[in-house]
Structure 1
Amino acid sequence: MSATCVPRLVVAVVLACSAGTVVADEPLLSAPFGDHAVLQRDQPIPLWGQAPAGEEVHVRLGMQDARTRADARGQWRLQLPALGAGGPYRLEVRAGAQVQQLQDILLGDVWLCSGQSNMELQVHRSLDSRSEIASAGNAQLRLLQVEKQASAEPLARFAKAPRWQLASPDSVRDFSAACYYFGRELQPVVGVPIGLVHASWGGTRIQAWLSAPALRGLGDYAAQLDVLEQRERDPAQAIAGWGKLWQAWWQRQPAVAGGQLPWQDEAAASWKDVQPSVRWIDPQQQDVVGMHWYRATARLTPAQAALHATLQLGPVDEVDMTWINGKAVGSDAGADAPRAYAVPAGVLQPGTNRIVVNVLNTYREGGIGGPPERQALVLDDGTRVPLQDWQGQPAPADVGTPPTAPWMATSGLAGLYNGMISPLAGYGLRGAVWYQGESNTFQPDQYAALLAAYRDDLRARFGSELPLLVVQLANYGAAPLHPQDSEWARLREAQRRTVADDAHSGLAVAIDLGERGDIHPANKQDVGRRLARAARHVVYGETLSASGPVALHARRQGDRVSVEFAQTGDGLVAYGGAGPVGFELCGATQESCRYATARIDGDRVYLHAGAVTGAQRVRYGWADSPVVTLYDRDGLPAGPFELPIE
């Protein structure tokens, strides 16, 4: 079962309010406004909703009021003057004979928490959860859970309106642990009400959280976005276009020998017979992490070949690209979702039809599920033609990670921004928290640009200086025995550099909070504490360090290299030894890297450089799951980094 992919994109139906006059019995205020809401203090207060077209709308909050008029589509929007922290208030909206009143409204600081499964992980799955849930209760801490929703177009309203809840054992249990512990730590320090808006989805790539304009601005996604737009007009042409893009990617891979095209390859030598089972088509390979090809046949009469048909594959774990007779017919993602693809006209032929499925699995078991009776061509007349003669072969081990169809919810483009962030656009926020990256570790070199684009995309919708707090990826996997390249380390470096380049961003280091055997570490309390500390430094102006010791630069001094640190609090310490471990000295290549002996002297760490002739770089914590022991006296770790030697 995949840890990085979840059910496929459900294209949202655009709600009636975005296309015509609003009916009279709808709420006048749109979500996220509701009873118990927290509105952002010290900023003009934006409000919006729906009313009969042309109707005057009158809004009152405490002693503040304003008026506007609903437009021809029944939409209205206005701002109230800024208010300081306080409440509770009653928020009243009138439009003609309609009246809506919201109770128990507070003015405070509102934070958006978003990301993938480590942000989604609930309080009941965190450390000491029974005690944490039982003790939850704070009327000054309010929670808003955004339901999972992907959409092909930006939504003006939530498909399912979320509602605000006071922090309590009932509301906290299934809420994001990282987000809740962050707010719990921050609220008593700041001394104002805190509102937490949680919108995350496990297994998601960052591209799904970026708007289409932001993705186009990166310059790498135009062709995929064109296919996504085409899908709304002509799904058959869109899948054909996507098939061409996927095939072009495959043919560019250096590991693909001799122009091999498995979706139309008739050669039998490299294909091995596999037997469908109730679990996986290849029961001899239960742990099929990586990419595999599968193929089967279905025989049709001329009359059957002329009918419309649906290809049913059963569940595929986790991403598939599927062809019939060399023509693309579908692509989707999800460990449990059965695949069912409409077969475009002209694809089927009398006699033997070849079905080819490429499957990418990134975590634990994977492949094509059973039982065999779920795998068939289902004709319009109800006939089920079974898929037979299954064969399989692995793709080259170093073929790389393929692109995924842009309409996929978790690994596609813009779908989660459209469904979960767009309806929030304009709501007053104090800042945003981002905990994501595991699903992008295959492209660390692109992540810095993607993260900066995500930050700027939020600021375009919630304020030009919106603070962004980023949780750096935790350690995961086996400890290294020698220096090695690491995509996880390179993605952490992208996170570090992106945050360091922006005065309104902060980093929460988590390199010591992970679990080697679990990609979802349970210690979210310390994640929350470190996020709150970063917020206190970056957002609220406290002089404490943001995230533990920060490496500034590395300089050669004779036969040593000196690494200078800032934000060291009461000084650097090394746990469990005379000096810190986790440092490497490197030349120009990965093969040149060697572990370095390190010694602390004040705010500096000195490294012996004799092990590497011509050392050019210092690396620290450079592995998927590094062993690191450098901390400050407050117990905060130095984060992973790579620096050139000056």
Structure 2
Amino acid sequence: MRSKILGLLAATAVSAIATTVSAAPLLALVFTDHAVLQRGQPIRVWGAAGPGAVVELSLGEAKTSATADAEGRWSTTLPAREPGAALTLTAQAGGERQTISDLLVGDVWLCSGQSNMEYPLRRSLGGEAEAANAADPDIRLLQTGRVSLPNPTTALPKEAAWRPATPESANNFSAACFFMGREIKKATGAPIGLIDATWGGSIIQDWISREGLHALGGYDEGLAVLADYARSPDVGVAHWQAQLGRWAAKVEPQAAAWSRPDFDDRDWKTMRAEQFWETNPGLETFDGTIWLRASITLTEKQARQGATLSLGPIDDLDTTFVNGREIGSSQGWDTPRAYRIAPGVLRAGPNLIAVRAIDAGGGGGAWGPAAQKGLKFDDGSFAPLGASWRYKVSTAIAQSGLPPTAPWVGSSGLSTLRNGMIAPLIPYGLKGFAWYQGEANVAEPAAYGRLLPALVADWRRSFDAPDLPFLVVQLAAFGPRQTAPAESGWAEIRDVQRRVAATDSKVGLASAVDIGDIYDIHPANKQQVGHRLALLARKLAYGETGLVAAGPAPLSATRAADAVVVRLDQPAVVQADARPVGFELCDAGGACRFADAALAGDQVRLTIPAGFAPVRVRFAWADSPILNLYGRTGLPATPFELTIAP
């Protein structure tokens, strides 16, 4: 249940003041009263008018014009400006006229990602007081709302409008983004525009354009399914079900007969029908595929009818069979399943219901009230499924990999959030991006190593800004502590984030690893996240020299006699102990041991255990690492893994 463990936040309530425009606005919907226009660069303006219409524009004393193309699209630029008095932008084409007012020139930041970026100001530490003191006429806020589309759109929802920061407008706005913007405004003195384009539980693939995913490779069939769905939902669903079936046949050949009614499942275990499977012994941390089977005995009258099979929600993804016949697949951890069964499929006597349930993280399986699960017949009668399932574990997600998801499903699809929430903003002038996401991809860190740089390149290309700063929040700690070295998808994602920042001088890493909560995937201390993002912005976007904007990061790991020496990019300090903790040495076979560490300035010396031959060194390599190594400015050292040089 990738979405559930990530605590998919309830849909953000976007309260916006609608802009007064003509019935057919000339300006793109991202241009509303109270907007902030990016300073120091030509101001790009675009919209729609009648084909061939000449659109006259004025912004203060500056004037220009544009001619709409055959599809009615027009775009132009106005001269660059610096902050000053509020402005009015007017567009006129023939008898149509649109005016938006109270525009400021300053810096615009686009904040995006999943639930920890979506996390609203009101829920952060001291959120009520923060919201009550949020009023600032020079900070302007825009929330795109949640929009998932199979094809790109040029339009934001009509209720999405720029608003000055007030207790009301900031209340449900991204806390991390707001705190970052407030600190940037304090440091620069310029008006700040903040765009909140977030969706809790979303995977990174859903934020990259179709072109970006195609260039990356590996997503062509999913993109083809999405294109089919855009033309015909029925065709798209059928294509996806066939793709999912091929994946299942490849990764779990042992389950080929498990949907058939003649299969003998008497040695299978049982679980209750209304709880996540983690409540069963041995499944406490299981993510992957489990088959569920149950029987319903029907009368001749019931069997002659058509019916709807209701199974409640199944986390995350299911393929359901009746008497060996596949009747449907669905995706969504909290989406109730209801499948139509045509007359002739059911039989008098026992009928076998089989479900292939796939969970990618957190709670999994069929859940919800058992009384609501069963067959509702065309005559209105109901046959309950019963209180339990027989079940068999098939394949762990670590072995099977992630299944092909339905690419049109918002937050877990391909490109749909980029189509609905980023495309309408392009090519609005920006100062930079702030990105907090990765929890939804912890099951595929290798893929994330390709996807994160692809996202950075895709957005920079889309906004025609190849060097635009891209600030990344490194995932906060979450989950139980480990007493011994272990593999960790969370640590691998953090290391991907570190490596992307290390290879791009305009990508900054704001680590949140030390401000997480082992019991809550949504830590409330978003003030510190915003502060660390603002430090990076001041360094990368505003060129503040001498500013330490991140904690220690590794430069190298080398063998030195009976020790390994890790060199950091800055001097470090140890908190609460004389020695750094959390360093591991790993051999060629994958065995890892905690190592005794000693710090001297910017170097950490790790003693090699007798008889051990390490080839890699890791630091803070856990879902929730214990970390006491910091920079002298109080920022945490980044988790990492490095190959040891001779």
Tell me, in whole angstroms, the C-alpha distance in 1 between the residues paired with 2:587 and 2:343: 58
Task: List per-residue Cα deviations over 1:618-644 (Å, max 9, x = no partner).
Answer: 211111111111112210111011112
State which of 492, 498, 508 in structure 2 corresponds to 1:496. Answer: 498
Amino acid at match of 2:406: A
**One of 322, 330, 334 as aligned partner of 2:328:** 330
Report the Cα distance in structure 1 between the residues aligned to 2:301 and 2:423, rounded to whole angstroms.
48
Residue pair 2:121, 2:170 contacting (<8 A) in 1 also: yes
1:471 corresponds to which residue?
A: 473
Structure 2 distance, partners of 1:536, 1:264, is 62
Q: Is the 8 A contact 2:148 2:419 kept in 1?
A: yes
User: After superposition, where does 1:85-484 map in structure 2 within 5 Å?
Assistant: 85-253=83-251, 256=252, 258-264=254-260, 266-271=263-268, 276=273, 290=287, 291-296=289-294, 310-341=308-339, 348=345, 354-361=352-359, 365-371=363-369, 374-376=372-374, 383=380, 386=383, 388=385, 391-396=389-394, 398-400=396-398, 401-403=401-403, 404-462=405-463, 463-484=465-486
Cα deviation 1:46-74 (Å, max 9, x = unaligned): 11222334332111111111112333433
2:539 is the alignment partner of 1:564: no
Indicate conservation of the 8 Å contact 1:298/1:385, yes or no. no
Q: State whether residues 271 and 391 of structure 2, in contact with CA within 8 Å, keep that contact through their aligned partners in structure 1.
A: no
Return 5+ residue gaps in structure 1 as ranges.
Answer: 10-22
Change (3 A) 1:608 1:249: same
Distance 1:562 1:157, change over 3 A: same
1:335-390 deviation digits (Å, cap 9, x = unpaired):
433223456x79946656644323334566553344456445556x5645535366
Deviates more, 1:242-251 or 1:25-34: 242-251
The TM-score with structure 2 as length reference comes to 0.89
Instruction: Trace 1:590-629 onto structure 2 (pairs within 5 A).
Output: 590-591=590-591, 593-611=592-610, 613-629=612-628
Aligned CA distance change for structure 1 residues 54 and 363 (closer, same or farther; 3 Å): same
Higher mean alpha-carbon deviation, 401-410 vs 486-495, is at: 401-410
* Contact kept in structure 2, 1:142 and 1:165, CA below 8 Å: yes
User: Which range moved further: 54-63 or 426-435?
Assistant: 54-63
SS in 1 for 2:63: strand
In structure 2, relative to structure 1, the CA distance for the partners of 1:273 and 1:481 (3 Å cut) is closer
Aligned counterpart, 2:586: 586
Contact 1:243 1:328 in 2 (8 A): no
How many percent identity over aligned positions?
A: 42
Structure 1 distance, partners of 2:100, 2:22, is 18
Q: Which residue of 1 aligns with 2:16?
A: none
Q: How far apart are 1:132 and its partner, in Å?
A: 1.3
1:216–1:385 CA distance, 2 compared to 1 (3 A): farther
Partner Cα distance (2:305, 2:285) in 1: 36
Which position in structure 2 is the counterpart of 1:17? none
Amino acid at match of 1:564: R
**Is the 1:587–1:613 Cα contact (8 Å) retained in structure 2?**
yes
Residues 287 and 366, structure 1, Cα contact 8 Å, conserved in 2: no
- 2:631 — aligned with what? 632
2:86 partner SS: strand
Relative to structure 1, is the Cα distance of residues 572 and 312 closer, same or farther in structure 2, using a 3 angstrom cutoff?
same
Aligned to 1:575: 575
Q: Distance in 2 between matches of 1:330 and 1:156?
A: 34
Q: TM-score, normalised by structure 1?
A: 0.89
State the AA in 1 paired with 2:576.
G
Going from structure 1 to structure 2, the CA distance change for 1:341 and 1:565 (only over 3 Å counts) comes to same
Paired letter, 1:561: V
* Cα distance in 1, alignment partners of residues 437 and 290 from structure 2: 27
CA offsets 1:371-427 (integer angstroms, 9 cap, x no match): 456445556x56455353663314246354541222221212111111111111211
Q: After the TM superposition, which of the residue ranges 365-374 and 302-311 deviates more from structure 2?
A: 302-311
**Counterparts in 2 of 1:238 and 1:92: CA distance versus 1, 3 Å:** closer
Matched pairs, number: 624
Quote the Cα distance in structure 2 between the aligned partners of 1:306 and 1:236: 26
Counterpart-to-counterpart distance in 1, 2:192 and 2:22: 33
- Range 386-395 or range 187-196, more displaced: 386-395
Greater displacement, 173-182 / 262-271: 262-271
1:148 aligns to what SS in structure 2? Answer: coil
Q: Post-superposition shift, 1:510?
A: 1.3
Q: Distance in 1 between matches of 2:235 and 2:567?
A: 57
What CA deviation, in whole Å up to 9, does each residue of 1:110-149 have, x standing for no partner? 1111111111111111111122122212222111111111
Question: 1-side partners of 2:330 and 2:255: how far apart?
Answer: 25
Q: Which amino acid aligns with 1:619?
A: R
Relative to structure 1, the CA distance from residue 377 to residue 65 in structure 2 (aligned partners, 3 Å threshold; closer, same or farther) is farther
What is the one-letter code of the residue matched to 2:192?
I
- The match for 2:524 is 522
Contact 1:287 1:364 in 2 (8 A): no
Amino acid at match of 1:332: S
| Whole-Å separation in 2 of the counterparts to 1:211 and 1:636 | 34
In the alignment, is the contact (CA less than 8 A) between 2:402 and 2:443 conserved in 1?
A: no
Change in 2 beyond 3 A, CA 1:157/1:42: same
Distance 1:395 1:144 in 2: 46
Question: How many Å separate the matches in 2 of 1:384 and 1:51?
Answer: 56
Q: Partners in 2 of 1:353 and 1:186 — Cα distance? A: 64
Would the aligned equivalents of 1:239 and 1:328 in 2 still touch at CA under 8 Å?
A: no
The alpha-carbon deviation at position 313 of structure 1 amounts to 2.8
SS in 2 for 1:573: strand
- Secondary structure of the 2:538 match is helix
Q: CA 1:329–1:84 in 2, change beyond 3 Å: closer, same or farther? A: farther
Distance 1:322 1:414, change over 3 A: farther
Q: Offset of 1:330 from its aligned partner?
A: 3.5
Q: Is the 8 A contact 1:288 1:361 kept in 2?
A: no
**Which residue in the other structure is 1:545 paired with?**
548
Counterpart CA distance in 2 for 1:629 and 1:522 is: 21
Are 2:305 and 2:344, in contact at CA under 8 Å, matched by a contact in 1? no
- Report the AA paired with residue 555 of structure 1: T
Following superposition, the deviation at residue 535 of structure 1 comes to 1.3
Alignment RMSD, CA only?
A: 3.0
CA distance 1:640–1:4, shift in 2 (3 Å): same
Report if aligned partners of 1:329, 1:342 keep a CA contact under 8 Å in 2: yes
- In the alignment, structure 2 segments of 5+ residues that lack a partner are 12-20
Contact 1:6 1:410 in 2 (8 A): no
Displacement of 1:473 in angstroms is 0.7
Measured against aligned partners, the alpha-carbon deviations of 1:255-280 in whole angstroms (never above 9, x if no partner) come to: x4745443346332244566655x77
Change (3 A) 1:53 1:377: farther
